Every structure is written in structure tokens, then in C-alpha cells.
Structure 1
Amino acid sequence: MTSTKLLRNGVVVDTVPEPAVLGRADVLIEDGLITAVGPDLAAPGAEVIDASERIVLPGFVDTHRHTWQAGIRAILPDSTLQTYMERVFGRLVPRYRAQDVHAGVLAGALECLDAGVTTVLDWSHIQSSPAHTEANVSALRESGVRAVFGYCYGGPGGPDALAAETRRVREEYFETPDALLTMAFAALGPDLAQEERALAEWRAARDLGLPVTVHMGGHGPESAARGLAFLQDNGLIAHPTTYVHANCYTDEALVRIARNGGTVSVSPAVEATMGFGAPPTGRARAAGIPTALSADTVSNGAGDMFSLMRAAYMLERGRPDGAGMGFTTRDVLRMATIEGAEVAGLADVTGSLTPGKQADVQLLRTDTLGMACAYDPIAAVVLAADTAAVDTVLVGGEVVKRGGVLTRHDVPSVLAALAESAAHVTAA
């Protein structure tokens, strides 16, 4: 039986080929897919969702989030990367049980949906055991978010163990196609691990047909140059790879990444406050690299895309050399939607309102003091909106938030489980 929904009479903003305001229009959704966008669409028998006084646009795409860390929000304000590594990985990670992973990932994924983020790359370096992996994948599926599970092996043993467990995870959880959940290899890489492990990571990803997402380029110019040379020398640089925190790459290195099909994920708030250096937003895009936004961690940063868009916009426009003054609100919205989908490997699935794509859509309120009388809807989304504006969210045509309320979960129970987990993990 065909399921049909009609988003009626909203101000529609699409992102392909570039972000543009289409004006007042309808969006028709059939069996989870967008089938038409235009004024006064006819859809007899459709469920009508009133989008008047709403901006209708694609759901946001977060390309690098440690979703399991929802229970340690704001635990490290004003910190550095070294402090983060010592506190989170030296003290807290060993305390995480499988149930803590489930509680954090479920709450973190629902946080995404509540804020209009319909797709997230869950960069998961909490894979201490098969039970942790089971809890993580289960929570993502339970949440209803569209996710790329970035698997970072954290068990014992060397390259053989890494390869074997990655294959098991791939075959056990991703052998059968899933409409919402796919897999990537989250690599520690040559910047954060021994070269033997880095080789094993890329080889496992290649053998299993998985893209790589890796923290590379954010640990100083020497480390950035050495890591990229390592990939080049070992014939790995052309493998589909997203470089997270590419701050320290030279312009020439960014061009090399672009020529080899690489992408970049920028975490503007965390990069600016934890000592990574200036976010590479404009330089990466100027090199021709698809460049997207990410929250990274809520341990010392915001978890919503509105904050990230504003951080990226202001930091780029405020570059001391004035080179960022051409960066626009339309550019940053593109990074948060279709460019993010491209970085996540899902540009043919989500990120725009193109007919044939999955209906990952959000409706933002304009009938509030903070959003009223906005002359430019795109500028309003980037500069004025916040999570309170997110009225309705659909993922694959399914309503997951309506009238400002998540519809598929008992949120108080989710929060209670998260609070119990947080108390256990952070106990003195």
C-alpha cells in the first residue's frame, strides 16, 4: 500500500545545484521518497502536513560525531586536545560498559533528530568488545536516524585481529542492505597510531569496500606532512577518505587531497577552541574538496548544526587576511546539507529535495520572535534559527518529530538511562 504525505504551503529551500529559496510550495512524498516539489500539488488521499509559517529544507548532515559521548556533555570546557585524551580516553573510556554505549548513542542520535540532523556519521572509537559494537549498532537502528557507523577497532591484538573483527562486524551487521544504516572504517591513521596499524586499517577498508574516515592533519604541520606522505608512499591516498581536522595541511597538500578524491570534515567550534588551529573551511573548498561540518564531541562543544554553521561562518569570514569574506550563508548551508551528504557518501540518497531522493526533511518555525520577518530564509536558517525552531522532522518519509516533540521514543526513559550511565562513567 502506498504511503503518501504532502508538506503543504511552506517556504521551500533546496540545495541543488546551490542553495536557493524556491518560494511557497509543496513537497510530495510517496513511500519515503520525494516525488515532486512545486506549488499547489495534487495528492488525493495524502496525509497533509501543514507547512505554513515554516521553512521546509533538507535535514542536516553531520559528518563526524562521537555520538557515544552524550553522557559526558560539557565535562571538559576550556580544554585542550591533550586534556581531552587524558581525561576521556585515559580515565573514562575504560569505565564504559556496553549498556553505557547504548545509552549514549541512543540519546546522542535522538539529540541529532531533535535538532534537524537527519544523517550522522557516528565516529565510534568506543569499540572495546563485540558487546560494545552490538550496543552501538542496536542504538543507531533503534533511534531512527540515518547513520554511517564509523567503526574504529578497539580490541586486543594486532593487524590480524583488527582485520578479522572488522570483517565480522561488516558481515554480521551490514551484509544485508539497510535503508538507514551503512558502514565506514574509522581509522586512527598514521597521525595517532603506529604505521603498522594504519596499514592494517586501510587494507581492511579496501578489502571490505569501506570508505575511511580519519583524524588527520590536525596535529601540527610536521605530522600532517608525514601522514599524507605515508598514504602516498603506500598507495593508499586514492582510497575514498574523509580527513577530519585538516587544519594543518598546506594549500598544496589540500590540492593533492582533492586530486585523489578526498573529502574534509570541519569541526569549527572544537577546532577553534581546542588548539587545532584555524578551521580549514575556505582553504579546503578553494582546493576543490567537498567539505562538510561536524559537531565532533559534546564534551566541550555544541551538538546542533545551527551552532556549527554560525561558528564556521564567523570564523571563515573573520580570517585575518580577509580571504574569507567571500564565504556566504549559502555556502555554509550547502556544507550542512548536500555537501555533507557528499562527504558521507550519501549524495544520491539525501541532502537535497531532489525528486527520487529519500525524504529526509525538516520544517523550521518562522512564527517566533527569533525568526519572524526574516527577509532571506537561508540567512535566517544560518544566522537566526536554533533548535527551538525545529518543528517537524522526517527521515525516509517517516515523521520522527512533530510539533516540536520526538514521536517515536519515550524521551524521559532515554534520559533516565543516560543519567544512570553518566553517573557510573564519571564516578570519582
Structure 2
Amino acid sequence: MTTFTSHYATPEGGATAPVLAARDRSEDAAVLTSLRSADAERAILIRGGTILSQDPAVGDFASGDVLIRGGKIAEIGPDLAAQAGDAIVIDASDAIVIPGFVDAHVHAWEGQLRSTAPVLDFPEYLGFTHFGYGPHYRPHDNYVGTLATALVALNAGITTFIDNSHNSRTPDHSNAAVEALLDAGIRGVHASGVPIGAEVPSWPADVERLRAEYFASEDQLVTLRLMDVFPSAEVWEFAKNHGLWVSHEMGSHIENVADTLSDLSAKGLMTDKHTYNHGFDLPDKAWDLIAGSGGTVNVCPRSDAAFGLGSGFPPIDKVRELGLRPGLSGDNEISYGLNPFSEMQTLLNGHRGRTFERIAAGEEGVPEHLSPADVFEFATMGGAVNAGLDAKTGSLTPGKDADVVLIRTTDVNTAPLSNALATVTAFAHPGNVDTVFVAGQVRKFRGELVGRDLGRIRGLIEASRDYLFAASGRRPDVLARQGSTQVG
């Protein structure tokens, strides 16, 4: 019971303020049991939520329903109870219903190293990962790191990410990363790549073996592409010949980057099946080649700042000028947590600050401020375009897979619900993510990951971290105040 001592707690005139009852959650356990045991064809009705569909043809609803059948969105509307039959009903009256977030670029294999190095620049990051702990990774550690990151993603409402898995030291390392995505139940794009400075003779040829063993079905959650850090005609030609996308770390770290891309374009290798991460300090010629090829791009609001990439702020105005539809990226968990809400907030507020600064300096032709709608678009449909999965996910559209997220609006930081878009992009955090579906399968329900023995998973993560520290001659220092949380 809450007791108020101040007379200011009572409205003037002595009127009694309304007491809002919490929603009755007594039936939640039964609903979850039904969700986990029901036949795949049984319908699910998400009822009475505030819907942000991200599909202009569908629109948004202050109060509406989402009907799911066979893992796909069947219908969206204001009252679908009559069409739902014996559907499992989820009360969303205190939630915002959105499409799952799509993170366009994550290095998931580093998951057990999260928080170990809060202050690194980019060369230090490479020394820490590729040349530090990376060489000590067993296939088991690739699995554990990828699983750890995927579960953090699902917990935060990320239903899809592109896993730039550039630690494919052996075929078993590749297998382990793919199997972690499968076990996590996330919609993952395994972008197979090799560590910087490592000779891996089996790659990229082994990717065809990987495809045959794990990617036989086109209608599965985990898909395949390649990943590189420095553009290579050999890799790009392999990708084109085998019908694979490629994700790239793209920026001024590539010597003569415009000429390099121009040469690849002249060879017919720069196609629309390429995703470019970062894009820091690229010359206009490089941007023109990317835009002209139909490639996709994603920006990294926190990563660029944390690791000192280029100016430290993503080139979002250049991306917008070229009419590209960018995705958002968390990059990795070494120095900060994977969190789509933080990426949206950082980009939105950082861009406003820089725009105000340019206006105050008397600059003309300053681009318009980014809006909450812009950054939400980047975090959903923009990411789906980067993943090549915009026909499956990124919006609540009938016929698409049911990648659906519910965000509570009754938590202390999300109440009262006055503007749904502002709540999602500027006030919410992963702790407000109530329920997550991937292709109609429940992954999080009423604030808890479903079907996960978190004690066992945490044990795997800690044991893998401890092994990697010991193999590197280090140990964790939980009280560290300077840079890396390791001693050795």
C-alpha cells in the first residue's frame, strides 16, 4: 500500500485521484503453456494493443488486434475477435505492439567478452579481439559467445540480426556459430568471415559445405552470406557466383577506398547484394558507387563514437541525401550492451545536437532534424532491407512472418502512454520489452525469456570467459576503473 504524507498528493478541491488497478495476470501461466504446446496452425490473437505497424498500407491503431496464423501475420485491425475462432488470446491493452527490431550488423561471437573493455579505440579493439582473445577461441567459445549475444538481442526485442561472424577459423568454428543461432531461435543471418590477419585456407570454399549442411531450406530462420573487413575481388566474385550476399566493414580504414570500389564495380562485382557497415569518412565517389549499385547501408551511432571511427558520428546526412534506407547497428558488446533503444536515442539526440550546432554557426542548407519516425524506421524496415529480408520481416504486414514485440506502457518510465512513437524511441529500454515472437513462436513472455535455463547459460558464458582469460594469461578484474577489466 502506498502512503502519501504530502497534502500536494491530493488534487485541489479535495477530489480523489483515480486508482488504476494493475492488469490481472493470473491467466498468464496458462496462456504461456498454450503458446508453447499449441499446434503450429492454432491462431494467436494479440488483442487491444497500440499498434505501430511500419506499413503505410496497414496504418497504426490506438487500439487494435494482430491475428497470427501458421507463424504469419494473418490480419491487423481494430477488433478481430470474430475472425480469431479458438485463438490463444494475449491481452495487449497495456502495450505498444511493434514489428521486431532488426540489427543490421553484430559480431555475436564476442558475447562472453561483454563489459571487459569499456574504453577501447579501434586499433585497441582489433588487438583485443582478433589478435588477443580471438586466436584462443575453440568452436565451443564461438557457440557460447554467439548464443549469449542472441539471447540478449531477443530480450531487447531484436528478432533479427546480421551476425558478422568473422571468427571462422575452422569449419567447426563456423558450424558452432550457426548452431548457436539455431538454438537461440532468433532470425539470424550468418555472415561467415575470417579473422583479420589469419590464414584460413578452407574459406570461403567451406561456405558451400556449410550451406549444404545447414541451409537446405529457403524458409528457415537462419540464412547465409559472407562478410569481409577489406574488399577482395576473390571474395566478391565467389559471392556473386554462388548467389550470396556480402556484408562489409566500410570506411576510411580501406586504403584508396574509392578506387578499390571503382575497380570492383568495373569488374561487375558491385551489386545490390552488398551491405555496408559504418561508412565512416567515405569520399563522395565511394558513396556514389554504393548508391548506384543498389547496395544497403547501416549506421552505428554508439560504435563510431566508442571506438573513434571517423568523426565519431555516423554519416546519416549523406545516407539520407543519397535516398538510401539505412539500418541501425549495435556492432558488438565489448564496450556497451546490445540495445536498439539506445541506438535510436543516441542517433536521434546526437543528430539534433549537431544540427543545432550547424544552425548556430550560420551554416545554410542544414538538413532537417531526424524524427522519432525516422529512427524507428531505421531500426525496423531499414534493418530488414540490410538483411535482404524485407519481404519477411520489418513491419506488421499481413503475409509476413509474425516477428512481433510488445512493449509495456505501465512501467514507471513508459507511463503514461501519451505518444507511442516517442515512448518507443526515446523512453523505453529492454526491460520494458514484455513479449517477443519470432515467426509466431514465443521467445519472451511477460518479461522473461521462454524455455531458457538461465543459470546453465550463465555458467556456460562465465566458464568460456574464464577459459579465454586463462588462455591469454589474464584474469577478470571486476573492480577495474581504467579501461579493460582484465589483469595479467
The bucket for the TM-score relative to the shorter chain is: over 0.9
Given the alignment of the two structures, is residue 376 of structure 1 paired with residue 454 of structure 2, yes or no?
A: no
Given the alignment of the two structures, is residue 114 of structure 1 paired with residue 147 of structure 2, yes or no?
A: no
Residues 90-101 of structure 1: pairs in structure 2 closer than 5 A: 90-101=131-142
Residues 350-361 of structure 1: pairs in structure 2 closer than 5 A: 350-361=393-404
Give the aligned partner of residue 314 of structure 2.
Answer: 279
Name the SS for the 1:14 alignment partner: coil
1:8 to 10, 32, 47: 47
Given the alignment of the two structures, is residue 341 of structure 1 paired with residue 380 of structure 2, yes or no?
A: no
Determine the C-alpha separation between the residues in 2 that align with 1:176 and 1:382: 35
Q: Which deviations, in whole Å up to 9, do the C-alpha atoms of 1:160-205 show, x marking residues without a partner?
A: x434212222222213334201111112333xxxxxxx11111111
Give the aligned partner of residue 31 of structure 2.
Answer: none
Name the SS for the 2:452 alignment partner: coil
Q: Which deviations, in whole Å up to 9, do the C-alpha atoms of 1:315-353 show, x marking residues without a partner?
A: 222224353543101000000001110111000000101
Q: Which deviations, in whole Å up to 9, do the C-alpha atoms of 1:240-275 show, x marking residues without a partner?
A: 111111021234532331121011111110102211
Given the alignment of the two structures, is residue 212 of structure 1 paired with residue 223 of structure 2, yes or no?
A: no
Whether the 8 Å CA contact 1:21–1:377 is kept in 2: the answer is: no
Whether the 8 Å CA contact 1:317–1:324 is kept in 2: the answer is: no
Q: CA deviation at 1:383?
A: 0.3
The structure that has the greater radius of gyration is 2
Whether the 8 Å CA contact 1:126–1:132 is kept in 2: the answer is: yes
Give the aligned partner of residue 193 of structure 1.
Answer: none
Determine the C-alpha separation between the residues in 1 that align with 2:457 and 2:66: 32
Structure 2 segments unaligned to the other structure (5+ residues): 1-38, 360-365, 475-488
Whether the 8 Å CA contact 1:215–1:243 is kept in 2: the answer is: yes
Moved more, 349-358 or 299-308: 299-308
Determine the C-alpha separation between the residues in 2 that align with 1:265 and 1:19: 26
Given the alignment of the two structures, is residue 290 of structure 1 paired with residue 330 of structure 2, yes or no?
A: no
Residues 295-334 of structure 1: pairs in structure 2 closer than 5 A: 295-319=330-354, 320-322=357-359, 323-334=366-377
Give the aligned partner of residue 363 of structure 1.
Answer: 406
Whether the 8 Å CA contact 2:300–2:314 is kept in 1: the answer is: yes
Q: Which deviations, in whole Å up to 9, do the C-alpha atoms of 1:89-133 show, x marking residues without a partner?
A: 111001111111111111111111010000010110111111111
Moved more, 55-64 or 254-263: 254-263
Whether the 8 Å CA contact 2:169–2:200 is kept in 1: the answer is: no
Given the alignment of the two structures, is residue 37 of structure 1 paired with residue 72 of structure 2, yes or no?
A: no
Moved more, 168-177 or 47-56: 168-177
Q: CA deviation at 1:231?
A: 2.2
Whether the 8 Å CA contact 1:282–1:327 is kept in 2: the answer is: no
Give the aligned partner of residue 195 of structure 1.
Answer: none
Give the aligned partner of residue 201 of structure 1.
Answer: 235
Q: Which amino acid aligns with 2:372?
A: T
Give the aligned partner of residue 386 of structure 1.
Answer: 429
Q: Which amino acid aligns with 1:386?
A: H
The normalised TM-score by structure 2 is 0.82
Whether the 8 Å CA contact 1:19–1:333 is kept in 2: the answer is: no
Q: Which amino acid aligns with 1:307?
A: S
Determine the C-alpha separation between the residues in 1 that align with 2:318 and 2:423: 25
Given the alignment of the two structures, is residue 415 of structure 1 paired with residue 458 of structure 2, yes or no?
A: yes
Given the alignment of the two structures, is residue 165 of structure 1 paired with residue 203 of structure 2, yes or no?
A: no
Determine the C-alpha separation between the residues in 2 that align with 1:390 and 1:176: 31
Given the alignment of the two structures, is residue 232 of structure 1 paired with residue 256 of structure 2, yes or no?
A: no
Determine the C-alpha separation between the residues in 2 that align with 1:46 and 1:109: 29
Give the aligned partner of residue 12 of structure 2.
Answer: none
The normalised TM-score by structure 1 is 0.93
Whether the 8 Å CA contact 1:163–1:200 is kept in 2: the answer is: no
Q: CA deviation at 1:57?
A: 0.5
Determine the C-alpha separation between the residues in 1 that align with 2:321 and 2:441: 37
Whether the 8 Å CA contact 1:19–1:334 is kept in 2: the answer is: no
Give the aligned partner of residue 265 of structure 1.
Answer: 298
2:165 to 124, 144, 169: 124
Determine the C-alpha separation between the residues in 1 that align with 2:339 and 2:59: 22
Given the alignment of the two structures, is residue 28 of structure 1 paired with residue 63 of structure 2, yes or no?
A: no
Give the aligned partner of residue 54 of structure 1.
Answer: 95
Whether the 8 Å CA contact 2:240–2:269 is kept in 1: the answer is: no
Moved more, 317-326 or 255-264: 317-326
> Matched residue pairs, number?
418
Determine the C-alpha separation between the residues in 2 that align with 1:214 and 1:3: 41
Q: Which amino acid aligns with 1:254?
A: W
Q: Which amino acid aligns with 1:138?
A: E
Identity %: 37
Name the SS for the 1:352 alignment partner: coil
Name the SS for the 2:460 alignment partner: helix
Residues 129-140 of structure 1: pairs in structure 2 closer than 5 A: 129-140=170-181
Q: CA deviation at 1:410?
A: 1.1
Moved more, 13-22 or 51-60: 13-22
Determine the C-alpha separation between the residues in 1 that align with 2:230 and 2:271: 15
Q: Which amino acid aligns with 2:322?
A: A
CA spacing shift, 1:299–1:20, aligned 2, 3 Å? farther
Determine the C-alpha separation between the residues in 1 that align with 2:469 and 2:73: 44
Give the aligned partner of residue 84 of structure 1.
Answer: 125
Determine the C-alpha separation between the residues in 2 that align with 1:211 and 1:397: 26
Moved more, 83-92 or 356-365: 83-92
Give the aligned partner of residue 194 of structure 1.
Answer: none
Determine the C-alpha separation between the residues in 1 that align with 2:272 and 2:97: 36
Given the alignment of the two structures, is residue 145 of structure 1 paired with residue 182 of structure 2, yes or no?
A: no
